[in-house]
Amino acid sequence: MNDSKIVVALDYANTKEALSLVNQLDPTQCKLKVGKELFTAAGPALVEQLVAKDFKVFLDLKFHDIPNTVKKACKTASDLGVWMLNVHASGGSAMMQAALEGVDQSHENPYLIAVTVLTSMNQPTLSETGIQTPVQEQVLRLATLTQTAGLHGVVCSAQEATLLRQHINPDFLLVTPGIRPANTSKDDQSRIVTPPDALKLGASYLVIGRPITQAEQPQKALEAILQSIQ
């Protein structure tokens, strides 16, 4: 059984590099996230390989298209046997409901979550897209839209978790990147939160990349994080 709250981000350029890390990890102690770079290079074959190794896989492709296209993409992604997949909430409720229909057409039963406002965006970059709403208000608006559409959760920063937990159901999943164990490098992340703090703030799953993937002993680094949140 794998009820680990840690999702290791496989930010690699090819199958070989990804598998050399994966082969050092225990599938009962973490889940894996495959994003656009690795998926574009390695394709569905790698995802199926990871699933066959008993890893739970979050396919982070952030679909955003017309509802019919997103529905079919979500059905196809679900058929790969992934544990979680995602879309952009800014595609609107019709697109998110179509995504859910696609997931439901599959025999698999993955979680479907949404991205609200990309955490790389700030007020000026949000405004230049025509949205004058304050960022936090827009995050809450899109998270609420996601919940109403029937999806299972959102990706958000741990800082946003507090606000979201005040307004949404307790079982709505909050999947948070930007996590750094105490005494590790921030890399290019600016607002970071430690694993125990992120869970205290209401996060359901923690997406962690470099503190594990760049560690000399990745499985040891994973175990230390698990111990810190026990």
160 binds ligand C5P (CB under 6 A): no
Closest CA to 228 of 183, 173, 191, 186: 183
35 binds ligand C5P (CB under 6 A): yes
Phi, psi dihedral angles at 129 (to 5 degrees):
-90, 5
Of residues 9 and 50, the one with the C-beta less far from ligand C5P: 9
116 binds ligand C5P (CB under 6 A): no
**Tokens encoding 56:** 């739970």
Q: Rounded to an integer, what distance in angstroms lies between the CA atom of residue 64 and that of residue 162?
A: 26
Residues with a known catalytic role: 62
Measured from each CB, the residue nearest to ligand C5P is 209
Q: Determine the angle formed by the axes of helices 135-148 and 158-167, rounding to 10 degrees.
A: 60
**Tokens encoding 213:** 């993937």
Pick from 4, 5, 6, 11 the residue near ligand C5P by CB under 6 A. Answer: 11
How far lies 57's CA from each of 10, 67, 140, 146, in Å?
10, 24, 27, 21
Q: Helical H runs in 115-217? A: 123-127, 135-148, 158-167, 195-200, 210-213
- Residue identified by tokens 């992934």 is 82
Q: Helical H runs in 13-128? A: 15-22, 36-52, 67-79, 93-105, 123-127
Q: Rounded to an integer, what distance in angstroms lies between the CA atom of residue 91 and that of residue 74?
A: 14
Tell me the closest approach of the beta carbon of residue 73 to ligand C5P, in angstroms: 19
177 binds ligand C5P (CB under 6 A): yes
Build a one-symbol-per-residue string for 130-159: x at contacts with ligand C5P by CB under 6 A, - elsewhere.
Answer: -------------------------x----
9 binds ligand C5P (CB under 6 A): yes
Pick from 129, 187, 217, 228 the residue near ligand C5P by CB under 6 A. Answer: 187
Pick from 110, 178, 181, 195 the residue near ligand C5P by CB under 6 A. Answer: 178
Tell me the closest approach of the beta carbon of residue 153 to ligand C5P, in angstroms: 14
Build a one-symbol-per-residue string for 205-224: x at contacts with ligand C5P by CB under 6 A, - elsewhere.
Answer: --xxxx--------------
Build a one-symbol-per-residue string for 44-83: x at contacts with ligand C5P by CB under 6 A, - elsewhere.
Answer: ----------------------------------------
- Taking CB under 6 A as the binding criterion, the range among 62-70, 78-86, 145-153, 203-211 that sits at the site for ligand C5P is 203-211
How far lies 45's CA from each of 4, 15, 26, 160, in Å?
24, 9, 20, 35
91 binds ligand C5P (CB under 6 A): no
List contacts with ligand C5P (CB under 6 A): 9, 11, 35, 119, 155, 177-178, 187, 189, 207-210
